[in-house]
Amino acid sequence: MRSLTVKTMCRGSSAVTIAGTGIAPGDNADRSIQVRRINDIPDDITDAKVVQLFERTVDVIWLGGRSRLEFDYSELGEGKIIRA
C-alpha cells in the first residue's frame, strides 16, 4: 500500500494532477489550488488511475464547513460522494 498527493487547480474548469514531491496537503489562500493526499492505494494501481478516480469523486464535506486533506483510496470512484 502507498500514498499519493494530488493537486486540484480550481480556476475555470477543474484539473487534477500529481503534486510535486514534498508538497503538504492544504489549500492556497483563495482555494484555487487544493492539495490532498490519497492513502492506502494498492501497489498495483497506477497514479493515473488514482487521479482519474479522484476527479470523478464528489467531496461535499466542505458544505458542512469542514475540509479534509486526506482520503482513503477505497472512498474514491465514479459517482461516489464523500459526505461529512
Model pLDDT for residues 20-52, shown as the tens digit of each residue: 888 999 888 787 888 999 999 999 999 999 999
**DSSP 8-class letter at 73:** G
Specify the amino acid at residue 81.
I
Residues 5, 35: contact at Cβ < 8 Å?
yes
Predicted confidence band of residue 62 (pLDDT cuts 50, 70, 90): confident
CA of 55: how far to CAs of 8, 21, 47, 79, in Å?
9, 20, 12, 10
DSSP string, 19-68: PPTTPPSEE-TTSSEEEEEEEEE-TTS-HHHHHHHHHT-EE-GGGGT---
Check residue 84 and give its pLDDT.
64
Record the pTM. 0.86
